[in-house]
């Protein structure tokens, strides 16, 4: 009797579902252990121009220290990426832990900070600030390409089905604008200061648990890394820029690209 029960099709389905749930629970525990350090700070030093005075010293590619104006070495527990570091080095040090956290069901954030011309947009998106699709080799495109590779592999194995949705907003003069929205009449002009496209202004709303959300932002589903590249290129062309002493098309705003991962089939 017991042998017949074990062989029933519905019982096999329950056993498979239980096994899959245990597998993903173990994976979530692994990712949680891997990302116990909630905050990582990585410094990247851009190559000096030919006639510029060098005021920062560090290892040529990757090291644990940096010195400013001949001062003492400042030690970092993460990494200091030197002038010879590659875009792949930035991805490995900054984005891989975030990928593990996201796959483990945790919220993740990658934030680039620095003065104008320091190389923030170059590191995050790639050469020419995201305006050229063939040069999008920064952290964000690499991270998304790896996400799609992981999703494709797991979908083929029948483990999980994923969806990725993207939202891209600009913060300019304490106001938030939707970079993916259709152009609407009567909204503020963007692009070059004083002219360009028109985008709707968004509002911030506080949720019941104290979090802040951007209300009304356009959310687009992304089906591939190529689709994401096209989305970034389209949104970047609508950002507010102007010329300064450092370069001709300097971003005059902050930009925030948000990805929502939806997993179908979690145990």
Q: What is the pLDDT of residue 169?
A: 93
Q: How confident is the model at residue 267 (pLDDT cuts 50, 70, 90)?
A: very low
Q: What is the pLDDT of residue 243?
A: 52
Q: Where are the domains of the chain?
A: 106-267
Q: What is the pLDDT of residue 118?
A: 84
Counting residues of the chain whose pLDDT is more than 90, the rounded percentage is 13
Question: Judging by beta carbons within 10 Å of its beta carbon (0-12, 13-18, 19+), is residue 267 exposed, middle or buried?
Answer: middle
Q: Report whether pLDDT(193) > 50.
A: no
Rounded mean pLDDT of 110-134?
78
On whether the CB atoms of residues 119 and 44 are closer than 8 A, the answer is yes
Q: What is the pLDDT of residue 168?
A: 93
Residue that wins the pLDDT comparison between 162 and 8: 162
Q: Given this structure, which CATH class describes domain 106-267?
A: alpha beta
Query: Dihedral, CA atoms, 215, 216, 222, 226, nearest 10 degrees?
Result: -100
Per residue in 123-144, pLDDT tens?
988 876 555 655 668 888 888 8
**What's the length of the chain?**
267
Residue that wins the pLDDT comparison between 11 and 27: 11
- CA dist., res. 115 & res. 251, Å (int): 11
Q: How confident is the model at residue 81 (pLDDT cuts 50, 70, 90)?
A: very high
- CA dist., res. 239 & res. 99, Å (int): 27
Q: Report whether pLDDT(7) > 60.
A: no
Q: What is the pLDDT of residue 134?
A: 59
Tokens 């970079």 locate to 179
């Amino acid at each position: 009797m017991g042998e017949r029960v074990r062989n029933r099709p519905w019982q096999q389905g329950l056993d498979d579902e239980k096994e899959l749930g245990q597998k993903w629970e173990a994976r979530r525990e692994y990712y949680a252990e891997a990302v116990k350090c909630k905050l990582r700070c990585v410094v990247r030093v851009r190559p000096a121009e030919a006639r510029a005075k060098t005021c920062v010293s560090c290892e040529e590619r990757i090291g644990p220290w940096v010195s400013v104006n001949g001062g003492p070495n400042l030690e970092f527990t993460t990494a200091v990426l030197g002038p010879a570091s590659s875009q792949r080095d930035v991805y490995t040090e900054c984005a891989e832990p975030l990928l593990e956290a996201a796959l483990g069901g945790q919220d993740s954030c990658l934030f680039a900070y620095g003065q104008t011309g320091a190389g923030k947009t170059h590191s995050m998106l790639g050469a020419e600030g995201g305006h050229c699709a063939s040069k999008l080799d920064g952290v964000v495109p690499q991270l998304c390409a790896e996400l799609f590779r992981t999703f494709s592999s797991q979908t083929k194995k029948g483990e999980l089905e994923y969806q990725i949705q993207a939202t891209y907003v600009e913060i300019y003069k304490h106001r938030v604008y939707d970079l993916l929205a259709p152009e609407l009449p009567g909204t503020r002009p963007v692009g070059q200061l004083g002219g360009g496209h028109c985008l709707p202004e968004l509002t911030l709303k506080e949720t019941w648990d104290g979090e802040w959300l951007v209300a009304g932002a356009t959310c687009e589903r992304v089906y591939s890394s190529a689709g994401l590249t096209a989305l970034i290129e389209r949104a970047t062309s609508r950002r507010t820029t102007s010329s300064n002493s450092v370069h001709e098309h300097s971003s005059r705003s902050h930009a925030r690209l948000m990805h929502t991962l939806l997993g179908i089939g979690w145990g």
